[in-house]
Amino acid sequence: MPQTLLSLLARETGDIRRDLLIALLISAAANTGILVIINQASASAAEGVGDLRLLGMFIVAMALYVVGLRFTFGVATRAVESMLAQIRQRLMRGIAHADLLALRRLREGRLLQSISQDTIVISESQGLLVAAAHSALMVAMTGVYVLTVSWPAFLIVVVVIAAGAVLYLARSKELDQLAARSSRLEASFLGKMSDMIKGLPEVKLSTARREALLGELDGVGQELCEVKVRTTSVYNANAIFSQSFFYALLAVIVFVLPALIDSFAPQAPKLLSSVLFIFGPLSTLITAVPSIGRADRAAASLLQLEAEIGRAGTPPPAPGPVPRPLGMTQAIECRGLQFHYPGEAGETFSIGPIDLKLPQGEIVMFVGGNGSGKTTLLKVIAGLYKPSAGQLLFDGKPVPPDGQQRQRETFGAIFSDFHLFPKLYGIEADDAAIAAEFEAMRLTDKLSYSEEGFSTRDLSTGQRKRVAMVVAMLENRSILIFDEWAAEQDPEFRAHFYEELLPRLKAKGKTLLVATHDDRYFDIADMVVKMELGRLVSTQRRGEAKS
């Protein structure tokens, strides 16, 4: 039984199992009653006697069967979809409040697979779960009826059906293994095909690279073809086995049981009709077992993911207004600030200890080679990473324990790995303000904005950074972080960024923290902070010697 799935349903939607069980019992009992009524009516008809009372009973049984089953399917569908909606909502909120580094260790692919594929598997299984439960009850009740007809025949039929079910499920294991292998090969083929499409210029520049990649694609494609053929062959063999087993069971009833059991012949029609009656539900029950097992594993995967996200997160804040930004009228100060996080193969990258004061309303440029720690330091200052040691002060006051979100609300940032959302989420701006920022970023002829969002995001990296700048300007935060923002801009707009945009923002009272390699524009900065290997090497204010 899918214990995890049923427990999850009970936890999320209340204990609905009792209501479902009652409805299923009524429907299955009515279904078995239909069999009994038909057998009695058939016997009466053979004697030339019609019985309207049996017809009335048949109509009542049919009504109970239909109503009970419709109620069960309806309740199960609402329960499963409600459960999945609640789980998706909790997972999304958990991700939104999770620690950035802890969440990244879970891997994006794992998150997307569980939230999308696992929920789809459970959603598609709810009909099978109800059908299998109904079929199991119906087979059990019909078995009781067969037992009243002939207990020796009942024992023989049960043994034959059990043997057939075991053989079918054993054969289905190979089908599951083939399906899993096929899924892995398809993913591998799609990945290599993506490499081919994305790397087409590099492929065209090298015949050896092209032929090697095509060779791998051909090999994976051929293996996938063989697995698909084998999968179809096993599936067809199982279907043939299922139908042949049904015919064999009928042969046992017609040929074997009369020879083994005295006076069985009068009961043969009833037993024959019973087997015909339960063959469909029995097939449903057996074929549903692997799918329900996959749904139960998907439920366990979702529960595990939710627990891992919970360990990576912080409790969501109580409902209320958006937290106020931290006030900063003087300076941000780092006192012995340190941060470290694990890298690959157990190695760690650290910054600090750093002692640094960043005055309000100035342009501060952070310089240093790749891996020097500029971006990490800026993320610590912005509150995206928690310091491992030391203090971060705003106007001489440390960030309060519950003030991390207020700290974040103080900053607008465009990091090198930024994401451009399709809409201005959480930002209220009129059309005139948006148009003015588009014009300032020279984007008027590239895209527009409406209630549906940006007209396109299919832009170059430099243009997408300009759109991100539009978002930052409309957000209007007091401290702005630009992480290698000008790297993908053309020379003209790069000069425009340093010589016009930054001074204009400074004139508005903004504090600008800029990570850059553009040494030709260092004279624009009020202070240049140089870092190497996570350490502060020097600071130099305009017109002063390095310190």
Query: Does the CA dihedral 285-290-295-297 come out positive or negative?
Result: positive
With a CB cutoff of 8 Å and minimum separation 6, the contacts of 520 are none
Query: In the predicted model, is pLDDT for residue 345 greater than 50?
Result: no
Q: What is the pLDDT of residues 22-47, one digit of tens each?
A: 888 888 888 888 878 887 777 776 66
Q: pLDDT band at 14, cuts 50/70/90? A: low
Would the pLDDT of 313 be above 60? yes
Tokens describing residue 525: 């900065």
Residue keyed to tokens 């006076």: 263
Cα separations in angstroms, 207 against 11, 197, 515: 59, 15, 40
Q: How far apart are CA 92 and CA 270, in angstroms?
A: 56
Could you tell me the two tokens for 214? Answer: 């095509």
pLDDT at 239: 74
Mind listing the pLDDT tens digit for each residue in 278-291? 777 777 777 777 77
Q: How open is the CA angle 151-157-158, to the nearest 5 degrees?
A: 90
393 burial type by CB count under 10 A (0-12 exposed, 13-18 middle, 19+ buried)? middle
Q: pLDDT tens digits for 365-383?
A: 999 988 899 999 999 999 9
User: Are 273 and 39 a contacting pair, CB within 8 Å?
Assistant: yes
Q: Which of 329-333, 515-519, 527-531 has the lowest mean pLDDT?
A: 329-333
Across the range 520-528, mean pLDDT stands at: 92
114 DSSP 8-state letter: I
CA distance 119 to 112: 10
149 burial type by CB count under 10 A (0-12 exposed, 13-18 middle, 19+ buried): middle
Q: Name the residue with tokens 């019909």.
A: 142
Q: Is 50 left (phi over 0), alpha (psi -120 to 50) or beta?
A: beta
Note the pLDDT of residue 370: 86
More confident residue, 262 or 222: 222
Beta strand 449-450 pairing with 389-394: unpaired
- Distance separating alpha carbons of residues 179 and 344, to the nearest angstrom: 33
Q: How far is CA 261 from CA 155, 268, 286, in A?
A: 12, 11, 29
Q: Tokens 């930002």 belong to which residue?
A: 427
What tens digit of pLDDT does each residue of 421-469 get?
989 888 888 899 999 999 999 999 889 998 888 998 888 889 999 999 9
pLDDT reported for residue 4: 76
d(CA 411, CA 513): 10
* Residues 490, 493: Cα–Cα separation, whole Å: 6
Place of tokens 């580094």: 101
- Sole residue written with tokens 């329900």: 292
Q: Are 512 and 502 in contact (CB under 8 A)?
A: yes
Q: Is the omega angle on the peptide bond into residue 323 within 30 degrees of 0, that is, cis?
A: no
Task: Answer for the pair 317, 405: CB distance below 8 angstroms, yes or no.
Answer: yes
Asked if pLDDT for residue 196 goes beyond 60, the answer is yes
The whole-number pLDDT of residue 317 equals 58
- pLDDT score recorded for residue 338: 94
Mean pLDDT over all residues of the chain?
Answer: 83
pLDDT in tens, 488-506: 899 999 999 999 999 999 9
Most confident of 84-88, 118-122, 494-498: 494-498
DSSP string, 50-65: --HHHHHHHHHHHHHH
Q: What is the pLDDT of residue 295?
A: 82
In whole angstroms, give the CA distance from residue 84 to residue 302. Answer: 10
Q: What tokens appear for 143 in the block?
A: 């078995």
Angle formed at CA 192 by CA 188 and CA 195, multiple of 5 degrees: 145
- Tokens describing residue 57: 């009973």
- Residue 19 CA to residue 17 CA, distance in Å, equals 6
CA atoms within 13 A on the CB side of 487: 14
* Cα–Cα nearest to 288, from 174, 180, 169, 178: 169
Look at residues 306, 294, 310, 290 and name the one whose alpha carbon lies nearest to residue 115: 306
Angle subtended by helix axes 17-46 and 52-96, to nearest 10: 160
The residue with tokens 């029995």 is 282
DSSP bridge pairs for 341: 349
Torsion angle defined by CA atoms of residues 332, 333, 334 and 336, in that order, rounded to the nearest 10 degrees? -170
According to the model, what pLDDT value does residue 414 have?
94
d(CA 394, CA 410): 11
Q: Are 533 and 373 in contact (CB under 8 A)?
A: yes
Ranges of H-type helices in 313-412: 374-381, 404-408
